[in-house]
Amino acid sequence: MENIFKDKIILVTGGCGSIGSQIVKQLLSYEPKTIRIFERSESAHFRLNQEIKSDKIRNLVGDVCDADRVQHAMDGVNIVFHAAAMKHVPLCEYNPFEAVRTNILGTQNLVDAARKHQVERFISISTDKAVNPTSTMGATKLLGEKIVTNAAISSGKGKTKFACVRFGNVLASSGSVIPVFERQIKDGNAVTVTSKEMTRFFMGVDDAVRLVLKASEMAHQGEIFILKMNALKVIDLAEVIVEELAPRYGKDPKTIEYKIIGLRPGEKLHEPLITEEEAKYMSETDDMFVLHNPQLLQYGVSLPVNERAEVLNYNSKEMPHLNKEKIEEMLREKNII
């Protein structure tokens, strides 16, 4: 990958989160001039500073909903990675306007600031829940995608390259199922699973961020880069975690019960990564699909036309699922178990 980050000033919103902090860690190896970590949690800044010691890091306490603060943070920036978001489906359902403020209005604040300051590249982190959304979180992330991809069309003579990266669940990230399973095993409680049929896409955080950086180098005009991910049944993941971790806490895996709790409001049983409409204008690399912005057609831009029917079923239900042996192998490779 071409090093587009050397000697650049880079802004990472949500830079203390699971994805944002890994973006910061990987960017440091590319010799940037400075990395501005934009994060509203003071304690999160403190914890990350204890973990990462670098004179290239600048800690900016701020909220993407504060347009003035965003404008100040953007001054002199070359590249933006926008990872700040409300991400938890139940919390977004219960606090819908806060999700709108952060995921939609906050994204617009950043896009406006990037245009004003003539940022070179703007990469926004999205989610599979933005595809045919059934939740507040998914709907707000979909509109966040639209804001970013439309900015690539409506920027006029602006030089900023806008793009999104869309992927599914990140293994062992904050609020994900693996830490929940581990806590339940440790406490001696039943392991809660939404449904024995639930499926999800999963990827290690290091792999996801590596492809985010690769996508940022490829970004041109409003693309959505979709990372190719492994699909699995959540019940299989739970059983692997129980089999591995229960003995560490002095428990027999056979005595651990599984409690089926049902879908939460807004939650899907299976997750698609691509819609049928999107797949019409898609190209492909070894590790990602690239959705090209169909709005470009009205400006006479020729887009690739996809004719591969199988990508229309890029859904966690339809894709081959990792068996328990492969799941265990993946978790060991990522040092999660």
Least confident of 32-41, 182-191, 303-312: 303-312
Q: Which of 13, 24, 82 is nearest to 51 (CA)?
A: 24
Distance of CA 234 to the CA centre of its chain: 19
What's the rounded mean pLDDT across residues 197-219? 94
Domain boundaries, the chain: 9-168+203-229+272-313
What's the rounded mean pLDDT across residues 2-24? 95
Known active-site residue 129: yes
CA distances from 38 to 10, 57, 91, 143, 146 (A): 10, 11, 22, 22, 22
What's the rounded mean pLDDT across residues 219-237? 94
Of residues 134 and 155, which shows the higher confidence score? 134
Separation of first and last alpha carbons in the chain = 30
Bridge-based pairing of strands 288-291 and 79-82 is unpaired
Whether residue 78 is predicted with pLDDT greater than 80 in this model: the reply is yes
* Per-residue confidence (pLDDT) for residue 176, from 0 to 100: 82
Across 271-280, b (16+ Cβ under 10 Å) vs e yields bbbbeeebbb
**pLDDT tens digits for range 80-114:** 999 999 999 999 999 999 999 999 999 999 999 99
**Active-site pick, 8, 87, 129, 268:** 129
Question: 198 CB contacts (<8 Å, ≥6 apart)?
Answer: 233, 234, 235, 269, 270
pLDDT band at 314 (very low <50, low <70, confident <90, very high): confident
Question: 94 CB contacts (<8 Å, ≥6 apart)?
Answer: none
Mean pLDDT, all residues of the chain: 93
* Per-residue confidence (pLDDT) for residue 310, from 0 to 100: 65
Question: 46 CB contacts (<8 Å, ≥6 apart)?
Answer: none
Whether residue 203 is predicted with pLDDT greater than 70 in this model: the reply is yes
Whether residue 232 is predicted with pLDDT greater than 70 in this model: the reply is yes
pTM of the model: 0.94
Locate 13 and state its tokens: 């919103």
**pLDDT tens digits for range 277-305:** 888 899 989 999 999 999 888 888 888 88
* Alpha carbon distance 17, 120 (integer Å): 24
- When computed from its CA atoms, the radius of gyration of the chain, rounded to whole angstroms, is 20
Whether residue 156 is predicted with pLDDT greater than 80 in this model: the reply is no
Whether residue 59 is predicted with pLDDT greater than 90 in this model: the reply is yes
Architecture, CATH, for domain 9-168+203-229+272-313: 3-Layer(aba) Sandwich (3.40)
Q: Which of 6, 9, 52, 63 is nearest to 30 (CA)?
A: 6
Whether residue 157 is predicted with pLDDT greater than 70 in this model: the reply is no
